[in-house]
Amino acid sequence: MPNAIRIVLVLSLCCVILACQKPKEKVVMLDQQTFGTLPDGKSALIFTLTNHHGMQVRITNYGAAVVSVLAPDAHGAFDDVVLGYDSLSGYVNDKSYLGVIVGRYGNRIGKGKFTLDGSEYQATVNDGENHLHGGAHGFHKVLWDAESSQTDSTQSVKLTHKSPDGDEGYPGNISIEATYTLTDKNELIVEYRGTTDKITILNPTHHSYFNLTGSPTNTILDHQLQIESDSITPVDNGLITTGVLTAVEKTPMDFRELIAIGAHINDASEQLTFGKGYDHNWVLRNQNGKVRKAAVVVEPTSGRVMTVFTDQPGLQFYSGNFLDGSIVGKKNIAYKHRTGICLEAQRYPDSPNKPQFPSVTLKPGEVYRQTTIYQFSTR
Ligand code: GLA
């Protein structure tokens, strides 16, 4: 056989072998960098989690904050769908809980007072006359310890923090763990675990502001929302729950079917007046502690969809009513009124003072657990 033909045959055979070989899955490495230096001289880290579809989530261990989430639109274009800051100082100075984990108690406790086993406790008053989101120096203002890990289909950052007895007025030395995992199903999973050495209360939640248009210069009023809920826990004018549940039917709180957030936000309604828009806890149908779908957000222009799953009995839907353009976030964008939506999985607001609500009490020997998932897709 002439040499030229032999070479052609060998080359063709090589091509066939190469074509038949299964392409090796690309290994994407979890990245860790220094985010900045805190006023006390300690360094905060920033982790970049990337999945095999190119979705990317950045997390800092200061405040356990999600700094950015790059999610694809219906045409495959990636944009950042959360509000946040370009640098650490933004998080140090932040007063709006952008992307952080709040606690020990997410949401409000009336006058900051609660009683456990006959002892009365006074948590920091930091929202009018009430306690909000763990107080002045809650989980959102501490540097958590961080450890990252990855498998073939997930990347995780496990954040841990010890809050001492008396911290912000809460009893008990507690250990809290929050693990963020990005999966190849475009899910951002947030898992919490907490223990105490003395009876206490624990109700942490995640406080990302989402804007699925990918550009927070747009409001979220055209985002459509559906919540798996038939009732809310109405509030008084200080946003403290009254203790009853009211049906959403025939009210602007009705998100049983997908509807634009802006459709009824300006309706005449005492609850909307108190909240300055939506800032209420929806009682989820799922009350059995299993992880179930809680809500769906659809952004019609980009086609982005976010589905929230949780094992918690309540979901605070906050429509960014306090954003007023005074916060300048990533890319120098001022966050104007209603440019972000928070969906905070939790027990009900002021539950320490409402024995009829699901309990937030944690005793020594017990383990607090929560799993909440934000899953991104398109339609
Ligand atoms: C929450 C509260 C709101 C507001 C924001 C932060 O979700 O329910 O009232 O305090 O946090 O600005």
Domain residue ranges of the chain, discontinuous segments joined by +: 31-378
Going by pLDDT thresholds of 50, 70 and 90, the confidence category of residue 10 is low
pLDDT at 20: 45
Q: Is the pLDDT of residue 11 over 70?
A: no
Give the Cα separation of 311 and 294 in Å (integer).
9
State phi, psi for 92 to the nearest 5 degrees: -65, -40
Looking at residue 28, its pLDDT comes to 85
Measured between alpha carbons, how far is 114 from 268 in angstroms, rounded to an integer?
Answer: 34
- How far apart are alpha carbons 51 and 187 in whole angstroms? 10
**Mean pLDDT taken over the chain:** 95
CB burial class (10 A; 0-12, 13-18, 19+) of residue 177? Answer: middle
Residue to mutate (ligand 1; options 210, 276, 318, 326; most atoms within 8 A of CB): 318
Distance, in Å, from the CA atom of 276 to the CA atom of 26, rounded to the nearest integer, reads 48
Atom of ligand 1 nearest to the CA of 95: 12
| Secondary structure of residue 72 in the 3-state scheme | strand
Instruction: Give catalytic status of residue 344 as yes or no.
Output: yes
pLDDT of residue 27: 77
DSSP 220: S
3 state DSSP class of 18? helix
Does ligand 1 have an atom closer than 6 angstroms to the CB of 322? Answer: yes
Q: Which CATH architecture has domain 31-378?
A: Distorted Sandwich (2.70)
Q: Which of 207, 228, 280, 299 is catalytic?
A: 207
Q: Which atom of ligand 1 is nearest to the CA of 279?
A: 8
Tokens of 139: 């989980």
What residues contact residue 378 under an 8 Å CB cut-off, 6+ apart? 72, 73, 74, 302, 303, 304, 305
DSSP 308: E
Mean pLDDT of the 187-201 span: 98
- Cβ-contact 343, 207 below 8 angstroms: no
Residue 137 annotated among the catalytic residues of the structure: no
Residue range 98-126, pLDDT digits in tens: 999 999 999 999 999 999 999 999 999 99
Whole-model pTM: value is 0.94
**How far away, in angstroms, is 250 Cα from ligand 1 center?**
25
Ligand 1, residues 127, 131, 133: which to mutate, most atoms within 8 A of Cβ? 133
Q: Do the Cβ atoms of 100 and 185 come closer than 8 Å?
A: no
Residue that is written with structure tokens 């006058």 in the block: 111
- CA gap 314, 296 in Å, rounded: 15
Find residue 69's DSSP bridge partners: 57
**Residue 9 gets which letter from DSSP?**
H
CB atoms within 10 A of CB 86: 13
Residue 264 per-residue DSSP state? S
